[in-house]
Structure formats: C-alpha cells, structure tokens
Structure 1
Amino acid sequence: MIRSRMAVLGVAAVVLAACGGNGAEAPAKKKTELTLYNDKGAWTKFFDEMGVLSKEKIGLGMKPTGYTDSAQYQAFIKASFRTNVKPDLFTWQTGGMLEEIVKQKQVADTTAVWQQAIKAGDLSQDLAPYYTIDGKQYCVPMNVAYWGMFYNKKIFDKHGLRPPTTWDELITVAETLKKNDVKAFYHTSVLFSFVWFEQLMAGMDPDLYDRLSTGEAKYTDPGVVQVMEKWKELIDAGYFINPGDKTDPGDVLKNGKAAMVSFGTWFNTSMTQRDMKAGADYGFFTIPNVNASLPKTSMIFESGPLCSLAKADDPEASLKYLTWWTTAEAQEKWATTRGDVSANPKVEIKDEALGQVTKDAGSGRYRLVNRYFEATPPPILTAALDGFGKFVTEPGSYKEVLETIQKEADEYWSTHQ
C-alpha cells in the first residue's frame, strides 16, 4: 500500500510539473528545509531524526521521501532530471549507475567537500575512488557497509554451534542445522539475487571477480562456471529457504525461518528495529573464503552516495548539507540511531562485532571487494539479476544463465573501453 501510494504521488508530481505553469521559472530563494528522496523507505524514522538535528545545528531542516521499490525510485529520479520537480538531495549507487548520471551532467561536483572532509579527518582518502569520475568527486557517503553473515544466536546456542572461521566449518554448521530441520541460509530471487554469486566468487577467485567487472573476463570462463556449480551444490544440499519466500529477511532471522542471513552491516538496523539485542539474540561474523589458500579474506564492501543535483533549486544549501553530513557530529547520530557503522573514522561504533569488523577492514586484514551491484555496469547488472533470479529457482539452468549474461556483456563491452 505504501509503495503504491509513493509511486502514485511520484508520477503525479512529474505530470503536474511537466504540464503546469506558463514556462516561466520562479525566482530562486534560499531554503530552510531540503527534500531528500531515497530508496530506503524503512529508514524514514532515522532520516527524520537527522532532519531535526540538522535544523538545530546548521539551520537547515530535511524532509525525507522514501521509496521501497528500487526500480520505481530510479525511474522517478531520472524523470526528475527532465521536470521542475527536483529533489534537493537524493540517494543513489556508486559505480556505473553514478557514472551514468554524472556523464549526463546531472550531479553536483563535491570535490571541495571531499577535500575539506579528508583534511579534517572526517572522510578517508581510501573512499574517494568510489566517488571519483574523471578526476572529480561527486556526492558524499550516505553510508558504508561491510558484508558478512548475521546469525540467530539462540539457534546456534541450541545446537551447540559457533561462528565458523573456515569454509569447511561453515558447511559443518549448515549440515548440523539441516539435520535438525533448520534452514541454514536466506536467499531471494529478486533484487538481492546476486548476494551468493558475489560472495562465492570473491571467496574463490577475487582477481577473476575484478576482471569480470571490467570486461577482462567472461561469465562463461571456467572459473565463473565453477562458482555457479559451487552455488548449485549448496542449493541442492537443501541449505537455503525457498527463494520465492516474501518474508522480510529481518523477520526470517528473528523467527528462525533461516539461521543465517548474508547482508551488509546496514542490516543491523533491521535487527534493532525488531528489538533484537546484539550478542543475545543475534551475532555477526565474517564469511570465510571458499579457497583457503587466498592470502586475505575477501570482504564485500559498499558505500551508498548521498547526492545533490547540478541544477538544484538552492545549490549552496544542498552542498552545505552534504558538508555537514560528513562531520562526526552528524555521523555519530546517523550511525548510533541505526546501530550501524560510519564513513567517518572518528565515530566510535558501540556494537562490539561491528566495531571490530570496521577496525579490521581499515587495518588491511581483509581484501575489500566492491559489491557486485556497484562493480557491474548497469546493462550487465540487469541481465545478471534476472539470470541469478532464474538460477535460484532452476539451479540446473546455470550454463544458460551465464551465456545470457555474457551476451549482454559482449554487447556492452563492444562499445565501452
């Protein structure tokens, strides 16, 4: 119901903007409240709290409008480029999706914001490449996330299980759960259908993973086929829940429908929203490599941008807000209310497990691997998400799926360096 209402409101706004008025633009005026459109409708409460804090600290309020359907959200933002209904701020993705709208000259240059934040110690230089296109920075980190496995601690305790430190131990855990009629893992056929592909690929051959994202390798290469065969092996073993199950993954973990859910550290917010206690009700561990001979454990990493339009109604106000967003003052609130990690190195993470993984990730202990969603060019990603969605319901189709994705990849890379 909420999703439908949001979609109707979004479309109505676009139509009114396209058809109304006499073509004359109203004179620009200084804003005291900014709109923030986002694809994280479940986080409205936290965005609201940030709006209250920003009003108090910098005199700029912020009103969020959240979508829960990614495709509808992306369509609305792209439509806003052509109308007078423009967000002051909006969330997006790094990688090919950000590059696409930067090339269209739709996104405000934030190079000066980055320079100031790095100098002040509010942002790490290591993050800058994810936001750099043709030597300039665009947007700022709305969040950062490190991927691992959330697990139901009560289920683990009941069956005498501990967080695994090797792949063989993880399989032993899954097998023990299976013998006790408990599904080990969550997976889905929609949107996040890529999760186990990226995890297995990164844990088996991270170099191949990187080459795949740049067109230097093919989805039909033997190493990629082996990843799909390993994935099929796990599905055939009966470790996963039904991929068509529409239960929210937060509820899946809480009610024990699956003992483990692989997501970014942002998923911790789903736990806190369900009044689950870290260390008592659930825990988090780094997923071990499948290939034990790799020099470092591969950890999936992502950073979601908070952006401003190049032609914002009040560019000065929008950039002022983005600058404030990077500060420890703002990030302390943003991280602690959601129970998540922060892009600002000065912010101390209260959750022991998440705090430790944040420190470890910055210490060089892990090989950080860019999340598949950002690492893969949009046309190939679309084909891959559809393909992986088919595969989890028809595991025997993996070769056909890889051939279909590679066909899209061949077409894309033939016109892109």
Structure 2
Amino acid sequence: MNPPVKRRKRGRRAATKKTLEIAHFWAGAEQEPVNSLIRVFEKKNPHVRVRQKIMNWWTYTTTMKREIGESPPDVMVHDIGENLLRFLEDGELLDITEMWERKKFYDVFPEWIKKKCSYQGRMYLVPSKYFTYAVWYLTDVFKKHGVKPPKTWDEFINVCRAFKESGIHPIISSGDGIFDLFMNLLAQVGGASFYEELVRGVESWKDPRVVETYEILRELSKEYMYPHPFGFNSPMAWVKLNNREAAMHLQGDWLNGMWQREYGYTPGKEYNYFLLPPIHPSIGRVMVVGGNAWAIPKNARHPDLARRFLEYAGSLEAHTLMARKGMGILAHKNVPEQVYDRISAGLRNELSKHPTVHALGSALPLKITSMIIMQNMKIVMNPDLKRKDIESLTAEIDMVAREHRVLRSLSSLRGYLSG
C-alpha cells in the first residue's frame, strides 16, 4: 500500500510573502502609473507584496514627520526641497550613497535634482519625477468663445475679459490653487534671481515686487476668478473646469495624465495648455518646478526590500514605464522622448529653454508657507485692499521669515557648541 501523498496547503506560498509598505500622495487619477510600477516590481520579486498607504498631498506633507516617528513605512515619497530638512537634520532617513554609486545614479539625473537628494555630501533619496505648472483649458471652450491661447500678458488679460463678457468665469482656482497662482506670478514679476534670493532669505518679503505680485493677484481674483475659491479644493476646481463653469485653470502638469485616465481625452485634442505669459518683457518667462523622490525611513521594518524597491524605482526601465503610463516628466535623463505624450514632451522641452525656480511649497518651511496662505486668503477675500494694506501683509510674512532664520541660526549654534 502506497503511503498517503502529502498535499501542500493552499495559500502557504502566499503566506510567506513579505509586505513592503509604501507611503505616497499620488491618489485617484494619479495612482495608476504607481500601480503599474508596483505590479512590475512584484513580478520581479514574487516573494514581496506591496501595500500602499495613500494620503492627499496636504495631509501627507503635514503628518508624515509624525508618521515615520510612530509607525514608519518601508518606503516614502516626498517633495524635494526645504521640507526634507526636517527629516534629514533629525537623521530619520537611511543613507543610500552606496546605492547611488553602485547603480551609477549620479550619471542619469539632472544636477539640480541630485543636489536636492543630498545632505552634507551623502545621498538620501532617489528621484522619481519633476513637474511644472501651466494654464490648462478645454479646446471646445476656447473654440466656442473664439479665443486663442495668449502669448503676452496683455493678451492674457484680453482673453480673461473676453470670457467674462461671454458669461463664463475666466479663471477657476481652489484655495490651495491660489498658492500656486501666487508663486507663478511672483516668478514672473520678480524673475528667477529675486525669487531664489527671497526663498534663501537674502531679499525681503516687503520688497515692492512682492507687493506688485499681490496687486496682480488681487485684480485677477476680483475681476476674473470663479467666486469663493477657498470654498473648494483642487479636485473640485478641476470638476468645475470640466463642467465648463470656467475657462482656464493654472495647475501642475499632473492634470495631463488625469485627463487621459479619467476622461479618456487625447493630449492636445480635447484639452491643451499654455504657459503663463511673461508680465515684464525685461524679465521674460520663468517656470516654476518641483520634484518628488523616494526615500527609506531609518526605522523601516524591511530596509533591504526597501533598497531593492528604490533600485528599481530609479532605473531607466521604471522611469520609462512611468512616462509611458502618463506620470508626467520623469527625472531620468535617458527616458526616450517618444514615450512621452505630446504635452509632457512639450513641457519638457520648454523647461530646457527657460529659467526655473523651485516651488514655494517645498522650498520654504511650513511656517512661512502657512503665513503666505493666510495672506493669500486675505487678498482674495478682500479685493478692495489698498497698496498700504498689502504692504502690511507682506511685512507680516517678512517678520515670520526673519524669526525662522533667527531660530535656525540659534539651533545651528547650539548644535555646534554641543558638538
């Protein structure tokens, strides 16, 4: 009599899989390229199951510092910029310099992104994508009202006036979108050098160029903006744009992929974009950019698996996959131009031609951005403010910025003395 055959229990293999938790803010229509990346990674690593922890950007940015202290994910994504210093100064991210050297990442990412991924000569992040801003519109709306994309600031104001006279709100923005509009206007009014020196604390927020920026924001919100922008968020603003309740929306280039995935639209056909026109010809066009990168919290449960994920996420294969899936402009320099859609390729080309500045949301500490958001709200909700009132508001921003610099200096001094 043959001995009984032992049968393997179903699910045994699946039970041995290790779970890699990845935290990010690419939710909703932005999530599919990340899903594609994860599917390929899991296929290459069949013993790994990826669990995504997804939050909206504002929640993520304000809570992730606490999250990695209490219950850190294995991998996190973050905007590159000033806000990363909170993690780096406290030693909360894993040093991955060896990975950069072994995978030759130094050779394939733009210089400005490499600098943002380093701290005190060591590397802590792997770049994912970078982004910029544009004014987006539905082509049938422009065609219906006989309007063409403007190339100069005067033409832009004329387009706003034409839409208003036709009975449609020219501009739609949300409360957080007002912040994006403000920093793009600031870049055009002050120019790249002034903008960057303002961020570094060399220039003053009381400067007349900041006041002029707020005067322009005041006039746009008073004359041409959909009412009560602080009453809804960015997804709601985008819905209103798609409902033809407004004609134009200044937003990040992630709208490009969202239109393709949620509506099935073709870039350049049902929708398109134009760059915010220069305000002063002597300054010309300045484009605002930002970037996202992957990192490993120091206390991650599975640091070896996290390293494996970052190695793949930084590869040309992964970046090409994400570009093909409509993630936007990927950071890897060798992604072939033909895998980008028409709009991403166009924006990538524009960025190579114009000066760029870093988005304020990641270039400034939260304390300063919070004050700017508060002043934005006062400007938009009080359109009859005089110049002297605006000067008082910019003086308040400047006071907070100066206090932050003093506290940072004292903190650095304490660190030096204790060392």
Residue in structure 1 matching 2:172, options 165, 174, 186: 186
Q: CA RMSD in A?
A: 2.3
Aligned residue in 1 for 2:333: 345
Is 1:292 the counterpart of 2:281 in the alignment?
yes
Summarize the Cα distance change of 1:78–1:404 in structure 2 as closer, same or farther, 3 Å threshold.
same
Aligned residue in 2 for 1:197: 182
Q: How many residues align?
A: 382
Question: Aligned AA for 2:166?
Answer: N
CA contact (8 A) 2:214 2:379 kept: no
The whole-number CA distance in structure 2 between the counterparts of 1:32 and 1:308 is 17
Note the 1:318-397 alignment, pairs <5 A.
318-347=306-335, 348=337, 349-362=339-352, 365-395=353-383, 396=385
| 1:46-77 Cα deviation digits (max 9, x unpaired) | 43332211112344442211112623x34543
The whole-number CA distance in structure 2 between the counterparts of 1:251 and 1:146 is 21
SS in 2 for 1:106: coil
Aligned residue in 1 for 2:254: 266
The whole-number CA distance in structure 2 between the counterparts of 1:340 and 1:93 is 15
CA contact (8 A) 1:95 1:377 kept: no
Note the 1:34-113 alignment, pairs <5 A.
34-42=20-28, 43-59=30-46, 60-68=48-56, 70-71=58-59, 73-74=60-61, 76-83=63-70, 85-113=71-99
SS in 2 for 1:338: coil
SS in 2 for 1:259: strand
Is 1:250 the counterpart of 2:235 in the alignment?
no
1:117 to partner: Cα distance: 5.2
Show structure 2 runs of 5+ residues with no match.
Answer: 1-15, 410-419
Summarize the Cα distance change of 1:409–1:126 in structure 2 as closer, same or farther, 3 Å threshold.
closer
The whole-number CA distance in structure 2 between the counterparts of 1:164 and 1:92 is 34
Aligned residue in 2 for 1:398: 390
CA contact (8 A) 2:161 2:224 kept: no
Normalising by structure 2, we get a TM-score of 0.84
Show structure 1 runs of 5+ residues with no match.
Answer: 1-29
CA contact (8 A) 1:360 1:366 kept: yes
Question: Aligned AA for 1:133?
Answer: Y
Summarize the Cα distance change of 1:341–1:75 in structure 2 as closer, same or farther, 3 Å threshold.
closer
Q: Which moved more, 1:335-344 or 1:103-112?
A: 335-344
Q: Percent identity?
A: 21
SS in 2 for 1:92: strand
SS in 2 for 1:248: helix
CA contact (8 A) 1:243 1:393 kept: no
Summarize the Cα distance change of 1:256–1:114 in structure 2 as closer, same or farther, 3 Å threshold.
farther
Q: Which moved more, 1:282-291 or 1:37-46?
A: 37-46
SS in 1 for 2:306: helix
Residue in structure 1 matching 2:149, options 163, 169, 179: 163
1:245 to partner: Cα distance: 4.2
The whole-number CA distance in structure 1 between the counterparts of 2:398 and 2:41 is 46
Normalising by structure 1, we get a TM-score of 0.85
1:230 to partner: Cα distance: 1.6
Aligned residue in 2 for 1:13: none
Summarize the Cα distance change of 1:391–1:129 in structure 2 as closer, same or farther, 3 Å threshold.
same
Question: Aligned AA for 2:177?
Answer: F
CA contact (8 A) 1:252 1:258 kept: yes
Residue in structure 2 matching 1:316, options 301, 304, 308: 304
CA contact (8 A) 1:114 1:137 kept: yes
1:339 to partner: Cα distance: 5.0
1:81 to partner: Cα distance: 3.4
* Structure whose alpha-carbon radius of gyration is higher: 2
Note the 1:85-234 alignment, pairs <5 A.
85-116=71-102, 122-189=108-175, 191-206=176-191, 207-234=193-220
The whole-number CA distance in structure 2 between the counterparts of 1:241 and 1:57 is 50
CA contact (8 A) 1:284 1:354 kept: no
CA contact (8 A) 2:21 2:52 kept: yes
SS in 1 for 2:309: helix
The whole-number CA distance in structure 1 between the counterparts of 2:222 and 2:90 is 45
Residue in structure 2 matching 1:278, options 264, 267, 288: 267
The whole-number CA distance in structure 2 between the counterparts of 1:352 and 1:319 is 33
Q: Which moved more, 1:177-186 or 1:59-68?
A: 59-68
Summarize the Cα distance change of 1:117–1:369 in structure 2 as closer, same or farther, 3 Å threshold.
farther
Summarize the Cα distance change of 1:113–1:385 in structure 2 as closer, same or farther, 3 Å threshold.
farther
The whole-number CA distance in structure 2 between the counterparts of 1:359 and 1:61 is 37
CA contact (8 A) 1:48 1:62 kept: no
1:107 to partner: Cα distance: 0.8
| 1:152-180 Cα deviation digits (max 9, x unpaired) | 11111112222222212211211111111
1:340 to partner: Cα distance: 1.9
The whole-number CA distance in structure 2 between the counterparts of 1:392 and 1:116 is 51
